[in-house]
Amino acid sequence: MSHSEPRYHRALVWFRRDLRIADNPALTRALRESAEILPLFIFDTNILSALPHRDPRVRFLADAVGGLAASLKNAGAQLLILEGDPVEILPGLLRKHRIEALYHARAYSAYGTQRDDAVARICSEQGVDVHSMDDSLLVPPAAMGPRKVFTPFFRAWQQIDKTAPAPAPTRIPGMPVTAKTGAHLINRHAQRTGLPWQADGWKQLLRTFDPCRYAETRNQPSIAGTSRMSPYLRFGLLSIRQLYRHVISTESPSCHAGTFISELAWRDFWYHIMHHFPETRTFEFQAKRRGLAWRYDAARFAAWQEGKTGYPIVDAGMRQLRQEGWMHGRVRMIVASFLTKDLLMDWRMGERHFADLLLDYDETVNIGNWQWAASVGADPKPLRIFSPILQSQRFDPECTYIKRHVPELRNESPARIHDPLKYRLAYCEPIVDHREMQRRARLMYLNAAGH
């Protein structure tokens, strides 16, 4: 088919978690096959209504949508921004603009797949072709068979060619839109409380992040040793392919970025697990661990949420989460182990708390990581219990990170901060004795396994 004979006259490109025009598979294919493009973003009230009041992530989203609108405008197209239930909005929109094809990135979340199935039925009834494009993964589940353990998954994953990122289009033949552009929606949502993240912040992070040193710096929460790219990947402000290409371009005899690349593979791995074993959205991946006798103590759970457990490394992480909408990766593992192994509480409670606060919240990845930390998911060691004392000593030896987020301890020595069971600290008593809870956790897991 020649470029002078497009397959469709008018196509709708529906942006969701792919808020960019560079390396956007749905947009790239729509431009190749369509004469006119209508770019669309919907503030989905099914999602917004479930978020906490004045959720700061909505401001980040609004800023990102504003940036997308500006990029499209520079290329000659106007972004139509609406608010409501997509399943209710799209039928009339498709008819009004005589749309022949709909393009969007493939969704993997429970809500996203149900919504897209409903939209596909609407399009079928109206004779509109739907093109759902792989976008958020380097290797989609269809490209390889199921693997239950990461190491063989990673070996197979490495053998599969990764798609090169496509450049941003210089011109987009946009349709004339007479309705309001939706700037008022961006302005309204941007009024919500913000976080210390900018929608275009990934550009500076990409310039400063050193994947060559990632293996030695990633576990030190006091320094900027991780990429901090997860919020930007979550909303698709840059693509996973752009990040991967940037990282592999740094590889040389003196620079090995394999550790960071394996982290990108872990992200894909959790999506593959959820795709092939969808019951893990609500149940433990390991059937033998579905009978764990989780406890619930409202006061202890509140102390964990508020960063008042009496274990400084745990409390620093939980306070960073509230302050920044983000938590260092090593500390995420520490606080998750503490909830499930020291407080013996259900990993789902922690997963929901993270869902409420994380700017980079991704249902699939969050569930995978929480199950891993709780030793109930794919690819765990038999039983991994983190000591908050040893983790603190090893990864924040000078307590720089701890003192940043727990200022009550600024005048305490590192030796005292690391071991709150030995020293009385100037903020709160430990709510449990880690040594005793470690013993009880081992017994609980043994009983669940039927030993």
**What pLDDT does 145 receive?**
93
Q: Are 325 and 357 in contact (CB under 8 A)?
A: yes
Token look-up 């011109």 returns: 171
Q: Are 313 and 430 in contact (CB under 8 A)?
A: no
Kind and range of the H or E element at 120? Answer: helix 110-126
pLDDT at 146 over 70: yes
Provide the token pair at 68: 């997308």
Three-class DSSP category at 295? strand
**What pLDDT does 444 receive?**
96
- The letter for the amino acid at 177 is V
Domains annotated for the chain, with CATH where assigned, are 7-134 (3.40.50.620), 202-276 (no CATH), 287-448 (1.10.579.10)
Residue (of 187, 176, 185) closest to 78 by Cα position = 176
Model pLDDT for residues 26-41, shown as the tens digit of each residue:
999 999 999 999 999 9
Average pLDDT along the chain: 94
C-alpha span between 214 and 305 (Å, rounded) = 29
What backbone torsions phi and psi does residue 408 show, to the nearest 5 degrees?
A: -60, -20
**What pLDDT does 178 receive?**
66
Dihedral, CA of residue 358, residue 363, residue 368 and residue 374, to nearest 10 = 60
C-alpha span between 175 and 78 (Å, rounded) = 8
Strand 8-15 and strand 34-44: the pairing is parallel
Model pLDDT for residues 49-100, shown as the tens digit of each residue:
988 777 888 999 999 999 999 999 999 999 999 999 999 999 999 999 999 9
pLDDT at 451 over 50: no
Model pLDDT for residues 383-432, shown as the tens digit of each residue:
999 999 999 999 999 999 999 999 999 999 999 999 999 999 989 999 99
**What pLDDT does 188 receive?**
84
What backbone torsions phi and psi does residue 83 show, to the nearest 5 degrees?
A: -140, 135
| Residue 376 Cα distances to 162, 262, 285, 300, angstroms | 31, 21, 6, 22
Three-class DSSP category at 131? strand
Angle at 150 between CA 374 and CA 292, to 5 degrees: 20
Residue (of 310, 327, 316) closest to 407 by Cα position = 316
C-alpha span between 26 and 5 (Å, rounded) = 19
Three-class DSSP category at 130? strand
C-alpha span between 401 and 226 (Å, rounded) = 14
Provide the token pair at 356: 């409420």
Residues 6+ apart with CB under 8 A from 108: 136, 271, 274, 275, 364
Residue (of 241, 252, 250) closest to 209 by Cα position = 250
**What pLDDT does 1 receive?**
43
**What pLDDT does 193 receive?**
62
**What pLDDT does 182 receive?**
81
Token look-up 């209710």 returns: 88
CB burial readout 300-319, b (16+ within 10 A) else e: bbebbbebbbbbbbbbbbbb
pLDDT at 177 over 80: no
Model pLDDT for residues 201-221, shown as the tens digit of each residue:
999 999 999 999 999 999 999
pLDDT band at 179 (very low <50, low <70, confident <90, very high): low
Kind and range of the H or E element at 13? Answer: strand 8-15
Residues 6+ apart with CB under 8 A from 394: none
C-alpha span between 312 and 318 (Å, rounded) = 10
Three-class DSSP category at 399? coil
Edge to edge, the sheet with strand 34-44 lists: 80-84, 34-44, 8-15, 101-105, 129-133
